Amino acid sequence: MSYETRPLPPDLEEQLAVLRQIADGSDDLLIDPVTVGGIRCAVVCCEGMLSTAIATELIIEPLTAIPAMPDSTALLTHIQTHLLLSFDRVVVRSYGDLFRLLHSGFAILLAQGQTMALAFGVQGYDKRSISEPSGEADLFGAHEGFTEAIRTNMSQLRRRMKTPLLKFELRVMGKLSHTDVCLCYLTDRVPPQLLRRIRHELDAAELDTILSPGYLQPFLERRGSMFDSVSTTERPDVLVSKLLEGRVAVLIDGNPFAIVVPKLLVESFQTLDDYNYKPYYATFIRWVKYLAFLITLLLPAVYTAVSVHHPELLNRTLLMLLTRAEAEEPLSLPLEAIGAFLMFEIIREAGLRLPKVVGGAVSIVGGIIIGDAAVASGLVSTPMLTVVAISVTAGFIVPDLSPVITVLRLLFIAAGGLWGLYGIGLLGMAVTYQLCRTEDFGFPVTAPLSPLYLRSMRDVMTRVGFRRMQHGNFTVEEYHEQDQ
């Protein structure tokens, strides 16, 4: 019989023997025999997971003050009905539950003659305090981000949405990790079929462990698409705004990123700061982002295509400038472009993986020395480096789409270099089709552009003021279509 479903035997010694057997001599298991109310008991906990002071004050001292009880049943009844001890109290009936709670920072009280145990939540393990999120910078938003503790994250959401309509559904996932996963949604806004399908997909997931959102994302989004149909966020304020639109969030214990289902492409261009600026400026910035997206994706490809295949589109002065710059280059323009972008990706990845102390040096070496040396040695021309720099900088405006942009940019350069604007047009159509077929549980990623919802354009093409938006009552259910 698997330990997961093995019930607790009534004899205390046998309970502890099985416990030791399952733990197989793990040194962090602490077993303290104690007599409570005249009944032989044992308190079991996991070293480092609970706060000794809290456990002593809230568990040990009250327990030892219990008067003599006739039997263990009376003892446990007395504890459950007359003593508070901890807000988080669970009745344990199997070793699976016992170990899950033990390793979640609970103290377990086993009693002689009982086939159940009581677990008290006295977690005291060290965890990261709430700090500003590493990505998703916002000028006017809160400087709080999620942490690795799921219950802290839940509390951050609850503080921002004090309505009882905000519901948390906890479940345990991961055959070995028993990770706490929480579905969050607003009961009056979430589309029921979306919730049903998410639950079904999560139930069907058979994973050993869940360490990051990437473990669950494949179960929540459509297969075979380059574009994400679920998003992640580290910010509770952003997550709340998405819950208000009827989306479902998935929190994972041990990871500060929440998964949000479904995702729309236009969200990649929206930030919380947009709603803090005046509408005219927010609209301007939105369009700057759209333009930046097109620039980062297409500028190198169009530059390559026009220079190689359609130089008549270039202004004469610019053409002569490019001709002079490219005259001494050993590589063809497409190869130059691809090489420059690959170099940038290597530097970027290196900077990401290195310790912070060294990371700065990498930036200097990569950006200044290599870039300057590449131009001085004649491997890469200055106009090409300028185009690469503009494209890369524009890409920083939409970090959400960074993986897609990185790959597509290279493909577009190849297509433009090989076949000119014709190749770019064809690849553009293929990418657009790929984007248009991406949907999540019947919610197309291209909504509200396609299918077109004119009412939603007030927050896509422009950003209207809250006086007009306050009467919206918009939810994503409006975008739902029958699945393909």
Partner 1 sequence: MKRICLPVCLLLFLLTGCAGDAIADRLYTQAIGLSGKDTLQFTIQGFEEEDARTVYADGIADALRQEEAEAGGRIFLGHTELLCLDGSRTSDTVRMLLFEQGLSPGCKVLYASPGELLRRDSTEYVHALRMAEKNGLLPATELSTVLGEWLGAWETALLPAQDRKLVLLHRDGTCVYLSEEAAAGMCWLRPGTGSFSMTTGAGDAEIRSLELTKTMQDGQGQYHIRLVTQDADDALRRTLKDRVQAECEAAVREMRDAGADVIGLQTLMEAAGMQSGGTLPEVAVTVTVT
Partner 2 sequence: MNKISNLQLFSILLLPGAWSILCIPALYGGGQLLGAAAGCGIQLLLCVPVFALARHGRETDFLRQKWLCCLYALFFILWGARSLTLMHTAAPRQLLTSPGHVTAAVLLLLTCLYTSTAGLKATARCAVLMLGVLGVTLVLLVVGAWRRVELSALSVRGGFSQGMLTYLALGGELPAAWVLLQHAGTGGCRAVGAYLLAKLGLCLLVLFLCITAGGRLTSEAAYPLFTLTVLSQPFAGQRADAVYLLAFVMLCVMQMTLLTGVTAHLLERTGIRHTAPLSLLLMLLLAWLLPEQGVATLTAALIPILAGGVPLVILMMQGIKRSVRA
The residue ranges that bind partner 2 (CB under 8 A) are: 306, 308-310, 312-316, 418-426, 428-430, 432-434, 436-437, 439, 444, 446, 449-452, 481-482, 484
Least Å distance, CB 371 to partner 1, is: 21
Asked if residue 463 binds partner 1 (CB under 8 A), the reply is no
Asked if residue 104 binds partner 1 (CB under 8 A), the reply is no
Binding mask 312-331 for partner 1 (x = CB under 8 A): x---x--xx-xxx-xx-x--
Asked if residue 467 binds partner 1 (CB under 8 A), the reply is no
Asked if residue 223 binds partner 1 (CB under 8 A), the reply is no
Among 133, 213, 246, 334, binds partner 1 (CB under 8 A): 334
Query: What tokens does 99 get?
Result: 């170990």
Instruction: Go through 263-281 and write b for each residue having 16 or more CB atoms within 10 A of its CB, e for each that does not.
Output: bbbbbbbbbbebbeeebee
Say how far apart CA 76 and CA 8 lie, in whole Å.
Answer: 15
Say how far apart CA 147 and CA 132 lie, in whole Å.
Answer: 10
Dihedral sign from CA coordinates of 68, 72, 74, 78: positive
Asked if residue 308 binds partner 1 (CB under 8 A), the reply is yes
Least Å distance, CB 345 to partner 1, is: 15
For 282, phi and psi rounded to 5 degrees?
-65, -40
Least Å distance, CB 390 to partner 1, is: 19
Query: Considering CB distances under 5 to 8 angstroms, the limit depending on partner class, which of partner 2, partner 1, none binds residue 434?
Result: partner 2
Among 335, 347, 436, 469, binds partner 1 (CB under 8 A): 335
Query: CA separation (Å) from 7 to 43, 108, 112, 114, 369?
Result: 18, 15, 14, 11, 66
Query: Considering CB distances under 5 to 8 angstroms, the limit depending on partner class, which of partner 2, partner 1, none binds residue 421?
Result: partner 2
Query: CA separation (Å) from 335 to 367, 403, 410, 478?
Result: 20, 21, 10, 46
Query: Considering CB distances under 5 to 8 angstroms, the limit depending on partner class, which of partner 2, partner 1, none binds residue 430?
Result: partner 2
Asked if residue 268 binds partner 1 (CB under 8 A), the reply is no
Binding mask 387-426 for partner 1 (x = CB under 8 A): ---------------------------x--xx-x------
In the complex with partner 2, the residue whose CB is nearer, 318 or 354, is: 318
What does 453-464 look like in DSSP terms, one character per residue?
A: -GGGGGGTTS--
Query: Considering CB distances under 5 to 8 angstroms, the limit depending on partner class, which of partner 2, partner 1, none binds residue 327?
Result: partner 1
Dihedral sign from CA coordinates of 276, 281, 283, 287: negative
Query: Considering CB distances under 5 to 8 angstroms, the limit depending on partner class, which of partner 2, partner 1, none binds residue 323?
Result: partner 1
In the complex with partner 2, the residue whose CB is nearer, 134 or 482, is: 482
Would you say 386 and 393 are in contact if contact means Cβ atoms under 8 Å apart?
A: no
Query: Considering CB distances under 5 to 8 angstroms, the limit depending on partner class, which of partner 2, partner 1, none binds residue 335?
Result: partner 1
Dihedral sign from CA coordinates of 206, 210, 215, 219: positive
Would you say 251 and 182 are in contact if contact means Cβ atoms under 8 Å apart?
A: yes
Place of tokens 């190689």: 308
Q: Other C-beta atoms within 10 Å of 61: how many? A: 10
Q: Other C-beta atoms within 10 Å of 26: how many? A: 10
* Cα–Cα–Cα angle for 120, 121, 126, rounded to 5 degrees: 145
Asked if residue 299 binds partner 1 (CB under 8 A), the reply is no
Footprint of partner 1 (CB under 8 A): 307-309, 311-312, 316, 319-320, 322-324, 326-327, 329, 332-335, 338, 414, 417-418, 420
